[in-house]
Structure 1
Amino acid sequence: MKQFVVREHEIEPVPGLPGALPAGERILWQGRPSARLVARHSLKNVYLAAYFVVLALWAVAAGLSDGQPAGGILFAVAVLTAIGAVLIGLVELFAWGVERTTLYTITSERLVMRFGVALSMTLNLPYRQINAVSMVERGKRGGSIAVALLPGHRLSWLVQWPHVRGWRFSEPQPALICLEDAAGVSEVLARAVIAFRNSHMAAGLARPAAPVAVSPGYVAGGHAAAAE
């Protein structure tokens, strides 16, 4: 089992990377998650708001049923509204922090994820350890890209959250979450993984590996990720 996650350096030689690029390695893409999409899809701010709306309506219905004065009902609704506004504000603040502190980097050799609102961490994933790339859509163009690792490589779901595919606790999959152009990024990543494998097999540096697969129920961007 390999340790992928390391503490981030205080000064980055290259933004998003723990060290300078080795000779021959190129940056193909860099980007961040969208705070709006993080708040909506990862932190479920819409469901949180709906929950407090239901509580407020319940307070009104219960107050009228019990014959409480209008002032008391309005006070209860105001308290619930204030609590809901504070919680939603904290969710939005955390989503903003996720966007500001996260930088995903796709190079010709690896995928690097720098993240961490409280403690900055770096996840370095060489392409030889990647088994599959998959994407789930979030709206018209947005989405999240999950990366399945080869057997024997494990990560901590809690350490990775929210940069991890949901409901995969036994086999956590790191994910580039809530990207505004996920289809385009998934194509860049899939092409990079395929090119890396082809070049290493041609040079006799690696044994033939399974092609980049697309998980069932997920949509991959373009033909590059559909090499099943």
Structure 2
Amino acid sequence: MTSILHIDASARPLTSVESPYGSHSRRLSARFLSRWREADSAKVIYRDVGQKPPSPVSADWIRAAFTPPELRMAWMADTLAESERLVDELLGADVIVVGVPMYNFGPPAQFKAWIDNIVRVGRTFGFDRSRSGEPYWPLLSTAGKSLIILSSRGDYGYSPGGRNASINSVEQSIASAFSYIGITDIHSIAVEYDEFADERLQLSIGEAETEVDALVEKLAAARRAKATA
């Protein structure tokens, strides 16, 4: 059974199926999970960081995270408790599905707080200043995990080669963080034209949903083949 970590980061609590003012990124992530359950079985862990964001990194958090586990004081373990849970959820997932809208050219602050909690020295990346060559290395490069970024944008032309591609910091920043810890099988789909609210938006939604369906079919089939190999 595939383990899926499903994360939504939109400040809008409803999908655009449920409300005309709802979230398109939530719409896509919900569709991904619905289609996956139709295609294959899955164990799903859900986190709504848009409504319940993780605590941001603090000075105490940094001190605790960079203290070797065997030397941590009790308050350090308490400070890192939330981060430990988030990392454990990530480590236990085969597929990570994130619904992340574009806010001012980047991901929401709530999602950045989640990223900051799971990019962890000693847990998702290694660091040794005495190591020959590169002192940092990914710890999840052999885990076989896939990341799916499902986004939405008010304007259009943010995909590679588009008129606004150079100012799109959503997919690239997320991919950079995940690649750093060793997750490089990354797929992205987005809805555009949200602020136009016309037929171009409806066409973009339809295209994105078709892409989601095809991606689910592809990934679910690959997981089934791997399980029976």
TM-score (structure 2 length as normaliser): 0.26
- Mark the structure with the bigger radius of gyration: 1
TM-score (structure 1 length as normaliser): 0.26
